[in-house]
Structure 1
Amino acid sequence: MTTTPVPETARPRAARTGKPRIGGPDAAARRAVVRGNPGRRGRGAATRSLRPGTGLGGWILRAALAVVFSFPLLFMFVSSLKPDTQIFGDMGSLAAFLPVGHLSFENYAAVFDRVPAARFLLNSVGISAVTVVLGVLVNSMAAFALSRMRVRGKGVVLTLVIATLIVPFETLALPLVWWVNQLPWLTANGFSLELTTGWLDTYHVQIVPFIANAFSIYLFHQYFESIPKELDEAARMDGAGWFTIYRRVVMPLSGPAVATVAILTFLPAWNSYLWPLMVVQTEELRPVMLGVQYFFQLNVSWGEVMAYTSLITLPVVALFIAFQRAFVNSIAASGVKG
């Protein structure tokens, strides 16, 4: 059976060119997508409404959780304004969380009379700030080398770095005390420098061991992996070296990661208790957490304890509020990439 070929001019234009007609069904479908199909919009709205935490119930749940988790902080701040008798008298009611009764700042004044709180706060601010700055610099450079540079065995090195996270600090504390007591350090003696042995009872013994951090390196590495490496190639074509790429290409794009590492480095440095207790004996060098033990030596005043803990909590809360958006963005980006 033979078929008669159809002349080329008799065939539709869409069949001749392989393109759909402008007024055909394909074009109509495209126009419907561009303009917005009511059916599609309805399904998208239904999908969004089913997402957790986007409706009224989600906001109610968030508010309830925020209230529950704020109770300890609220109790601490309110109790710092009350005398001890009123603190214990309000324990059985909601008045324990409300600023009612005899309120004053006497507990805060007593804190500065009982302990050198200003000196402790200044020490902790300095130690934490230096640790954060050096930690961001060192850990980001290590992560940059493991993420962007072409180095053999960098996967093995990253695995070993992450493996150190399973070792608790309490296991390393005693050997670390022995090691820092053997390390040399340059000290100023008038107009000359002398080489001494031992880091105990100094500021740098509270800083240097905590600059490099495995989790910070991992966070930076995961965030750097999300930055296109084509930017490195373009910079190298313009004559940039690795340090220039690190300083002018990668780090300006890593603001959320820097904020996250700054918070995660600041918190352990500010809350450090065990390590300063082991290596610092001079009162002028102690951080704020060691000041808590001063309130339990003789007569315990819980109003003063709450006032002191309020003072050392405010910087942490303020830091987190200032960088919470960048913190969440960095954790989300690292988690998706990882």
Structure 2
Amino acid sequence: MSANTLSHVAETAAPETHRPNQRSTTAARVRHALGLVARVLLCLVFGLPLLFMFISSFKPDLQIFADLGGIKAFLPVGDLSLDNYLGVFDRVPFAQFMFNSIMISVVTVVLGVIVNSMAAFALARITFRGSSIVLGVILATLIVPFETLALPLLWWVNKLPFFGPGGFTEGWLDTYQVQIIPFIANAFSIFLFYQYFDSIPKELDEAAKVDGAGWFRIYRSIVMPLSGPAVATVAILTFLPTWNQYLWPLMSVQSEELRPVMVGIDYFKQLNVSWGQIMAYASIITAPVLALFIAFQRSFINSIASSGVKG
């Protein structure tokens, strides 16, 4: 067979060889395009309400309702001003509310990370009889809604002793600690830490014990430094419900100087309701939540993606 004949056979056979690769490439492009469309749709579903809230915070009430029927509701057009934001500070003691929420949330997150991680460390790394039963009881509390416990908890905190400026008094109502201490221990946070700690090789504990380290040293110097994604996840999941707490402060706090930002929304529902000011208030109190997620999003996503498996 001549060289020309061989080259002709090779040229005619080549397309047949590359067809499967072309089909797989086309399928991959289609999957990529569908995934991109799905992500865009999800962004619209979750992002448009936030965009509407932010844009409406610059509009007067009449224009907000006039723009509801069209695309103008999501566009910064019309009579835009900062009057709603200025009205927020005139209508409520916003600085005090913001300070209270930040202080309560930060303290709850810090203490929650410490307490829940130590409880999970004991269950995951220290072998003792009945540890599985203890973990099961802790997880069983997740099925009990907070609304069921609110009234009994309110009665209990009203009976607890409190050391204040005037000495010991009875009752924690209308204090900062009543908004912090009941929410430090969290069953879901303990479970997250437990899953993550259980995936860390226990040979590290044995090596540390040979060097004379105790359990607290192992927890502080070995396990916790390796658990950054779990800490970030617990911090976000603790911060969100604490920041959004409404029912409990409404029941347990009466003084205006102790109220968090969520209770402050009620001030805008009294007398003349101003929807523009409500949108401005909601935009301001949403900013810390977005900032926290942006700061810890990489660790949060890594923790969720790994599903408790340390790689």
TM over 0.5: yes
CA distance in 2: counterparts of 1:211 and 1:326, whole angstroms: 22
Count matched residues: 292
Gaps of 5+ in 1: 1-41
- Superimposed CA distance per residue, residues 234-253 of structure 1 (whole angstroms, 9 cap, x where no aligned partner): 11111100000000000000
Residue aligning to 2:188: 215
> Within the alignment, does 1:200 sit opposite 2:173 as a pair?
yes
Tell me how far apart the structure 1 counterparts of residues 101 and 107 of structure 2 sit (CA, whole Å): 10
Change (3 A) 1:104 1:195: same
How many angstroms does 1:300 deviate by? 0.6
Distance 1:45 1:64 in 2: 29
Give distance in 2, aligned partners of 1:199 and 1:52: 61
C-alpha contact (below 8 Å) 1:223/1:333 kept by paired residues: no
How far the C-alpha of 1:51 sits from its partner, in A, is 7.7
For 1:46 and 1:197, how far apart are their aligned partners in 2?
Answer: 75
Kindly indicate whether residue 259 of structure 2 is the aligned counterpart of residue 286 of structure 1. Answer: yes
Distance 1:140 1:49, change over 3 A: farther
The corresponding residue for 2:100 is 123
**Aligned partners of 2:233 and 2:300 also within 8 Å:** yes
Match of 2:83 among 106, 115, 126: 106
Question: Is 1:324 the counterpart of 2:297 in the alignment?
Answer: yes
* In 1: Cα distance, 2:96 partner to 2:304 partner: 35
Given the alignment of the two structures, is residue 300 of structure 1 paired with residue 273 of structure 2, yes or no? Answer: yes
The offset of 1:59, in angstroms, is: 1.6
SS at match of 2:162: strand
Identify if the C-alpha distance between structure 1 residues 323 and 44 changes in structure 2 by more than 3 Å, giving closer, same or farther: farther
| CA root-mean-square deviation | 2.2
C-alpha deviation, 1:188, in angstroms: 2.7
Structure 2 counterpart of 1:56, from 14, 20, 33: 33
Q: For residues 54 and 144 of structure 1, do their structure 2 counterparts lie closer, same or farther at Cα, with a shift above 3 Å needed?
A: farther
Q: Which residue in 2 is equivalent to 1:243?
A: 216
Q: Give the deviation of 1:318 after TM superposition.
A: 1.3
Deviation at 1:335, TM superposition (A): 5.4
Q: CA deviation at 1:334?
A: 3.1
Residue 120 of structure 2 is matched in structure 1 by 143
Asked if the contact 2:115/2:185 (under 8 Å) is kept, the reply is: yes
Of stretches 159-168 and 309-318 in structure 1, the one that deviates more from structure 2 is: 309-318
The answer to whether structure 1 residue 264 and structure 2 residue 241 are counterparts is no
1:228 matched residue in structure 2: 201
1:97 alignment partner in structure 2: 74
Larger radius of gyration: 1
Distance in structure 1 (CA, Å) of the matches to 2:24 and 2:270: 60
Tell me the residue number matched to 1:87. Answer: 64
Higher RCO structure (Cα 8 Å, ≥6 apart) = 2
List aligned pairs for 1:152-167, cutoff 5 A.
152-167=129-144
CA distance in 1, matches of 2:300, 2:222: 21
Question: Is 1:77 the equivalent of 2:50?
Answer: no
The one-letter code of the counterpart of 1:81 is F
